[in-house]
Amino acid sequence: MSKKRNLYLNTIPVDEAREKYLKAVSELLTMPAERIPVTESLGRVTMSAVYARYSSPLFNASAMDGIAVSAKDTEGATETSPVILQENMYTVVDTGDPVHNPYDAVIMAEDIVETDDGVRITSSAAPWQHIRPIGEDIVAGEMILPGSHKIRAIDIGVLLSAGILEIDVVKKPDVAIFPTGTEIIEPGEEIKEGSILESNSRMFENMVTTMGGNGHRFPPIKDDYDEILSKVSDAADKYDMVIINAGSSAGTEDYTVHVLRELGEVIVHGVAIKPGKPVILAMVKNKPVIGLPGYPVSAYIGFENFVAPLLSIMGRRNEAVNEQIEAHISKRIVSSLKHKEYVRVKVGKVGDKFVAAPLARGAGAAMSLVRADGFCVIEQSSEGVEAGEKVKIELYRNKNEVENTIVIIGSHDLILDITADMMPGKYNNMFVSSTHVGSMGGLMSLKRGEAHMAPIHLLDEETGQYNVPYVKRLFKEPMAIIKGVNRIQGIMVKKGNPLGIKGIEDLENPDVRYVNRQRGAGTRVLLDYKLKQLGMDSEKINGYDREMATHMAVAAAVASESADAGMGVLSAARAMGLDFIEVAYEEYDFAAPVRFLELPHIKAFTDIIKSPEFKKELDRLGGYTSDASGRIVLV
């Protein structure tokens, strides 16, 4: 096979692609039955209706502890003229005991008095009172469960009561999963330049399990046409479906589509969806074979859109669809008419509205899926949405959890991760979600009603005071500052400080490749303040325009080949094994509207930052003092 690029330029709309494919493979999706013990059938799907073998109860049974009697023997009994039942006129029964002829009623133990002459009763018994007749619950021959029903715990109980021990269920679809790519290594293997740790197939395997199938994951196959061909051909004989991962686009070693064309028929290659464009929908030896793109988010979204619907049909399961809510989007999203786009969002409820903050959009950003609470789906016919616009969100987290989450938007600090970690452990069903847009960005979000709190560290050049002047200037409504921590800011440099940087002054050295924070970030404001104090010119700093969004991103850049210095907090420098030159202590606080201070999750948050456990964590990280943490200052 020559190194030929495979330039597919035409994509078709998602719904059209799915419909076309489902039509082509519709005959191939019927799974046979499998007979299994009822006791092992939880979550399986009934092949056909199930009928009761026995009735329940199997006999007329007493519903109470007491005596079984003939109703006619009790006629006329009242308080004033009790009836005495002699020993041969009743029998003692417990709940569940059979009641035989001639008895046709049960009197509760509380309603009888034993006397020397027999049992005295003071009211008559109605025929069949306190008796559960044969078949009261289940009648032999009646339908207990319909076909295509997902078996629940209660169903198992009833099936067994009805005398059923084994049941025909739909066989689980067996899905072969092949990761491909010469650069792909198994987790645990030695990492070399260019290696990518194999992860997608494990994600697929578990997505298949969640959908009620069996995933059979194979070790990675090298980018070798013949090897891919023989493995896929073999798997199409043995499995109900095959997934091939990566090699789906235009790379010189992207063989998947060629292999599938040789082995069978490619029905669709290229769908107007982002991420997920180069999906391949094919058929080999009468089995559905799907090629999913290599990027993790593309792989996930491709699976959800094309593999999941097939598994639903094969397994006859009506999967619960994600709950939909309406939310206000916090940032403008521009999207192309060329595709339908799945934008991952964090969702929170602030006041009485849901707000959604878009996360990283790259197809390689698997963490965007981990962090997301849902998707904002931008239809192909839309060019995007404006900030503040109402959008539909497919939630994939519980709505109740979203409602109990504090939404924090602003400057990043590791203490946000610590509170997010401590919150649900200390306070049941309360969560912290933070999005990092810098201090000014956070205040703007707060003003637009998109967040409960904004973490900020903004130095006012005129007064030399932190935070309060900014909040005073920007807000009309009553505001508070919840005191956070004092933290040391400094210059992070490579271990051993090879360029001998001593302070801000040295950043003018053209050999020092600096990496900056974005405009509006408190760290950037601090740098600019210091430059002004020192009479320095930002234009002389090599890399002043190179912007990163968090302390950790700056630290990672300094730890790599690409930069020598960047400003940030000590904890980030330590996390990356960097040296640190102290510049100044600053106040990192939380701005919040006064009206939110009484919310239970805000109070919980304030309690956490006051707690000794929290202080212990700060000591561990280093570079913080926290005397005022949790104190509320009205602005």
Ligand X SMILES: Nc1nc2c(c(=O)[nH]1)N[C@H]1C(S)=C(S)[C@@H](COP(=O)(O)OP(=O)(O)OC[C@H]3O[C@@H](n4cnc5c(N)ncnc54)[C@H](O)[C@@H]3O)O[C@H]1N2
Closer CB to ligand MOO, 338 or 390, in the complex: 338
Answer for which of 132, 171, 231, 274 binds ligand MOO (CB under 6 A) is 274
- At 340, the amino acid letter reads K
Q: 593 and 478 in contact (C-beta within 8 Å)?
A: yes
CB of 200 to ligand X, least distance (A): 4
486 binds, among ligand MOO, ligand X, none (CB under 5 to 8 A by kind): none
Residues 6+ apart with CB under 8 A from 493: 499, 501, 558, 564, 565, 578, 579, 580, 581
Q: Is 341 in the site for ligand X (CB under 6 A)?
A: no
Find the binder of ligand MOO among 44, 132, 217, 277 (CB under 6 A). 277
- The amino acid at 563: A
Question: Which two tokens mark 560?
Answer: 């790599």
For helices 414-426 and 600-610, what crossing angle results, to 10°? 110
Token pair listed for 223: 């980018």
Query: H-helix or E-strand containing 615?
Result: helix 612-621
CA distance 163 to 177: 40
Q: Can you tell me the distance from the alpha carbon of 196 to that of 184, in angstroms, rounded to the nearest whole number?
A: 5
The option from ligand X, ligand MOO, none interacting with 55 (CB < 5 to 8 A, set by class) reads none
Among 212, 293, 566, 593, binds ligand MOO (CB under 6 A): 293
Q: Does 295 participate in binding ligand MOO (rule CB under 6 A)?
A: yes
Contact assessment for residue 257 and residue 248, using Cβ atoms and an 8 Å cutoff: yes
CA atoms within 13 A on the CB side of 548: 21
Q: Rounded to the nearest whole angstrom, what is the least distance from the CB of residue 312 to ligand X in the complex? A: 24
Among residues 241, 363, 408, 504, the one that binds ligand X under rule CB under 6 A: 363
Q: Which stretch binds ligand MOO (CB under 6 A): 37-45, 223-231, 275-283, 622-630?
A: 275-283
d(CA 335, CA 341): 7
Task: Determine if 348 is a binding residue for ligand MOO (CB under 6 A).
Answer: no
Stretch of residues binding ligand MOO (CB under 6 A), selected from 290-298, 311-319, 455-463, 565-573: 290-298
Mark 155-194 with x for binding to ligand X (rule: CB under 6 A) and - for no binding.
Answer: ------------------------x-x-xx----------
Is 255 near ligand X (CB under 6 A)? no
Residue 363 binding ligand MOO, by CB under 6 A: yes
Distance (Å, whole) CA 217 – CA 226: 19
Residue ranges in 266-285 that form contacts with ligand X under rule CB under 6 A: 275, 277-278
Q: How far apart are CB 512 and ligand MOO at their closest, in Å?
A: 36
Does 275 engage in binding with ligand MOO (CB under 6 A)?
Answer: yes
| C-alpha Rg value of the chain to the nearest Å | 34
Strands annotated E in 122-248 = 131-132, 143-145, 166-170, 174-179, 184-185, 196-197, 214-217, 241-245
Instruction: List interacting residues with ligand X (CB under 6 A).
Output: 179, 181, 183-184, 196, 198-201, 245-251, 254, 275, 277-278, 293-296, 298, 363
Interface residues with ligand MOO (CB under 6 A) are: 274-278, 293, 295, 298, 363
